[in-house]
Chain A
Amino acid sequence: MKIKLTFWRIVFLVIMVMGLYSTYVRYLRGLGAVSNMTDQFPWGFWIGFDCLCGVMLAAGGFCMVGAVYLFNVESLHSVVRPAVLTAFLGYLLFIVGLLFDLGRPWFIWHQLIYMNPHSVMFEVGFCVMTYTTVLFFEFLPNVFERLSWKAPIKWIHKIYPILIVLGILLSTLHQSSLGSLYLIMPSKLHAFWYTPALPFFFFGSAVAVGLAMTIFESTHSAKALGRHLELSVLVRLGGALLVALWVNALLRFEDFFHRGLLKQIIRPSYEAYFLWLELALTFLIPIVLLSFKKVRLSPNGLYLASVISLFGFITNRLNVSLIGFETYVGHHYVPKWTEFSVTLMIIAMGFALFRVAVQYLPIFPKDDLQVRSASNARPAVSLASPVMEHAGD
């Protein structure tokens, strides 16, 4: 087999080489050599991006499973499989990221035997572990179908309702708990981001991100695979995203108002600049964009609004985990290039695995005609996804 060197493959190769060098530095020179983390900044870019943003960006899985299987929204059926795949890969890569960040990753299994139920970190770890297992089972039918194994598909059928409820329960818990992690630092985290409502905001934004991420990945894979894009699905997701953004924005406003910060957030300061950036990207620009019907009905407009809001929510997570601590610490934290390159390597691995998976597994419906329209309430029997169809039977 001959592999052609395309532009993206070269980029991928460069990222992998740099990442492998950083991996070498990480495991043979230590955390101090590979990162700019210090005693004052014990949590750096890997926690802020790989963990907080990584888990957030994988929220599409539980959002779409919830919409399609819990609420029985048939019209979104075609995006469930890619969303579950993205989530499954996302969580696997999150664990890879954790192996870089933990000082003693070879003891990660201590989580299973030395449990501290008071620790938010324990809860997050436990939920992520269980949820990754759930996602594995939700993903398995793809493999069984590919191998034409009928019996195991039936077994998974049987437990599907449990998997669905368990998956959404675990996601609710750990998405919000990532916010609860910071509740114990009232004196350290800047008041713009420290709020008792952190767990609610982390969960609420995860739902919005789940929708935005599904639009993002559907558009991309459509382009990459030369598929016809189902506009009706994107339009529905876009509408839901607009609602989710409004709810998030109003809750954020209510929180600032309630804590008497409205004057402070409009006064220029180092933190205010980052807050403005965050609020503009998460709420202002995407909401304005999506308010135009023309944008809401165009694939490019929806894509643009989603990507901007994704950048906004990423800014939010980085503000909570990094920028919000700089005033307390008294100096800036800028990640070392090796920290970035490890993250880039993990992201590149994610894209590559996604590409391979959609190539070899029945992730996307082969024929778009098989996807039923929203008006059809009868349980659909599309050939591409017979397993999940009968989940409720």
Chain B
Amino acid sequence: MSKALLYDSTLCIGCKQCEQGCATQNNLPYNDSIAAEEYQSAHKLTAVLTRNDKFMRRLCMHCEKPACASVCPVGAFHKTKEGPVVYDVWKCIGCRYCMAACPFSQPKYEWGSLNPRVRKCIMCPDRVNAGQQTACAEACPTGATKFGERDDLVREAQDRLKQNPSNYLPRIYGLHEVGGTSILILAAVNVEEFGYPTPEKIGDIPLPEYTGRVMDRIPDFIPVWSLVLGGIYWISHRRAEVAAAEAEEKKNGSAR
């Protein structure tokens, strides 16, 4: 039931309408100099990058099992059942663990602010909940960014790969990476050239599982370790008591 975006970079003409639409949706400034910035930041949540006449969008991948949501000590991030990974600024204490943990380095920070927020694409949750498509998908003139059900988009991406195999590298980036993401990417070139991590590096295992393996043991560890420590305490003090009692007895015995 979750929504997703399919970005087909072979259809992208680099017009940056998605950037503009995103800025408007999120009340962020947008002008020629911001458009020229080839990187994301707290005021540029999505960026269309250009390398050798090829284009590539970057935005939050909206992981199925997001690392940011799992690491946040106050649960400021969560994955909604509709698909978007959203952020609750009120809860945030500013530890920036989300930024350190994100395999796509998507959360950005308002470093200049005195009450800074984490900023990232939140996949227009208000629009999505209202049954509308995201601002970027709506703005896209060529259909390079397409909004829809994730299952439908996966099927469509597979069809496109089948119908025009010469147009694409034979993979859907985001289908399995870190357990799957709500952004699916088709491209003729390696997405790694645009700063995406290689699938081999991030793997298919959802990242929260790495810490989960340790965290899941803690509820068992606490009682067991407490008992061990308490036991050591009891034994070592009992031994001292016995030794003291024996010494006392010996003293009494020799006095007699």
Give A contacts to B, CB under 8 Å: 27-28, 30-33, 37-40, 42-43, 69-72, 101-105, 107-108, 110-111, 114-123, 125, 161, 164-165, 168-169, 172-173, 177, 180-181, 183-188, 196, 199, 377-379, 392
Q: Which residue of B lies closest to A182 (CB)?
A: B100
CB neighbours (8 Å) of A186 from chain B are: 202-203, 207, 210
Listed A/B pairs (27) with beta-carbon separation below 8 Å: A37-B111, A39-B111, A43-B96, A70-B229, A71-B236, A101-B95, A103-B95, A107-B91, A118-B70, A118-B211, A119-B70, A120-B214, A121-B95, A161-B230, A164-B233, A165-B226, A169-B229, A177-B214, A183-B213, A184-B101, A186-B203, A187-B202, A196-B210, A196-B213, A378-B247, A392-B237, A392-B240
Looking at the assembled complex, report how far the CB atom of A313 sits from the nearest CB atom of chain B, in whole angstroms. Answer: 21
CB neighbours (8 Å) of B72 from chain A are: 116, 119, 121
Q: Is the CB of B211 within 8 A of A120?
A: yes
Q: Which residue of B lies closest to A71 (CB)?
A: B236
* Chain B positions 19 through 55: 1 when the CB is less than 8 Å from some CB of chain A, otherwise 0: 0000000000000000000001110000000000000
Q: Is the CB of B100 within 8 A of A70?
A: no
CB neighbours (8 Å) of A111 from chain B are: 73-74, 93
Looking at the assembled complex, report how far the CB atom of A316 sits from the nearest CB atom of chain B, in whole angstroms. Answer: 18
Q: Is the CB of B215 within 8 A of A31?
A: no
A-B contact count (CB 8 A): 173
- A113 vs B215: C-alpha distance when bound (angstroms): 20
Q: Is the CB of B70 within 8 A of A184?
A: yes
Q: Which residue of B lies closest to A378 (CB)?
A: B244
**CB < 8 Å neighbour of A42 from B70, B99, B203:** B99
Given known contacts A104-B116, A173-B221, A187-B202, what 15 new A-B pairs fall within 8 Å (CB)? A31-B111, A39-B108, A39-B109, A103-B109, A110-B74, A110-B91, A110-B93, A111-B73, A111-B93, A116-B70, A116-B73, A119-B72, A173-B222, A184-B70, A186-B210
Q: Is the CB of B210 within 8 A of A184?
A: yes
Given the known interface contacts A37-B111, A184-B67, the answer about A43 and B93 at a Cβ–Cβ threshold of 8 Å is no
CB neighbours (8 Å) of B143 from chain A are: none
CB neighbours (8 Å) of A392 from chain B are: 233, 237, 240
Q: Which residue of B lies closest to A168 (CB)?
A: B229
Query: Which of B208, B210, B243 gathers the greatest number of chain A CB atoms within 10 Å?
Result: B210
Interface size in chain B (residues, C-beta < 8 A): 59
Q: Is the CB of A379 within 8 A of B240?
A: yes
**CB < 8 Å neighbour of B115 from A28, A104, A125, A377:** A104
CB neighbours (8 Å) of B95 from chain A are: 101-103, 121
CB neighbours (8 Å) of B202 from chain A are: 186-187
Given the known interface contacts A119-B72, A122-B73, A173-B218, the answer about A27 and B91 at a Cβ–Cβ threshold of 8 Å is no
Q: Is the CB of B244 within 8 A of A377?
A: yes
- A116 vs B243: C-alpha distance when bound (angstroms): 48
Q: Is the CB of B229 within 8 A of A165?
A: yes
Residues of B58-114 contacting chain A, CB below 8 A: 67, 70-76, 91-97, 99-101, 103, 105, 108-109, 111-114
The 8 closest A-B CB pairs, nearest first, are A103-B94, A32-B111, A42-B99, A392-B237, A72-B236, A116-B75, A122-B73, A114-B74
Looking at the assembled complex, report how far the CB atom of A193 sits from the nearest CB atom of chain B, in whole angstroms. Answer: 14
Q: Is the CB of B240 within 8 A of A377?
A: yes
- A103 vs B109: C-alpha distance when bound (angstroms): 9
Looking at the assembled complex, report how far the CB atom of B34 sits from the nearest CB atom of chain A, in whole angstroms. Answer: 16
**CB < 8 Å neighbour of A121 from B73, B214, B237:** B73
Q: Which residue of B lies closest to A167 (CB)?
A: B229
B197 on the A face (CB < 8 A): yes
Q: Is the CB of A102 within 8 A of B215?
A: no
**CB < 8 Å neighbour of B114 from A27, A39, A180:** A27
Q: Which residue of B lies closest to A392 (CB)?
A: B237
Q: Is the CB of A114 within 8 A of B75?
A: yes
Given the known interface contacts A39-B99, A119-B71, the answer about A69 and B210 at a Cβ–Cβ threshold of 8 Å is no
Give B contacts to A, CB under 8 Å: 40-42, 67, 70-76, 91-97, 99-101, 103, 105, 108-109, 111-116, 197, 201-203, 207-208, 210-215, 218, 221-222, 225-226, 229-230, 232-233, 236-237, 239-240, 243-244, 247
Looking at the assembled complex, report how far the CB atom of B70 sits from the nearest CB atom of chain A, in whole angstroms. Answer: 5
Q: Which residue of A lies closest to B225 (CB)?
A: A169
Q: Is the CB of B112 within 8 A of A33?
A: yes
Looking at the assembled complex, report how far the CB atom of B101 sits from the nearest CB atom of chain A, in whole angstroms. Answer: 5
Q: Which residue of B lies closest to A118 (CB)?
A: B70
- A125 vs B108: C-alpha distance when bound (angstroms): 23
CB neighbours (8 Å) of A185 from chain B are: 100-101, 103
Q: Is the CB of B73 within 8 A of A40?
A: no
CB neighbours (8 Å) of A38 from chain B are: 111
CB neighbours (8 Å) of B237 from chain A are: 72, 392
Q: Is the CB of A116 within 8 A of B239?
A: no
Looking at the assembled complex, report how far the CB atom of A117 sits from the nearest CB atom of chain B, in whole angstroms. Answer: 8
Q: Which residue of A lies closest to B78 (CB)?
A: A116
Looking at the assembled complex, report how far the CB atom of A331 sits from the nearest CB atom of chain B, in whole angstroms. Answer: 13
- A44 vs B239: C-alpha distance when bound (angstroms): 49
Given the known interface contacts A32-B112, A184-B71, the answer about A42 and B214 at a Cβ–Cβ threshold of 8 Å is no
- A173 vs B229: C-alpha distance when bound (angstroms): 13
Looking at the assembled complex, report how far the CB atom of A34 sits from the nearest CB atom of chain B, in whole angstroms. Answer: 10
- A39 vs B99: C-alpha distance when bound (angstroms): 7
CB neighbours (8 Å) of B236 from chain A are: 70-72
Q: Is the CB of B114 within 8 A of A118?
A: no
Query: Which of A103, A105, A378 gathers the greatest number of chain B CB atoms within 10 Å?
Result: A103
CB neighbours (8 Å) of A30 from chain B are: 111-114, 116
Q: Is the CB of A172 within 8 A of B233?
A: no
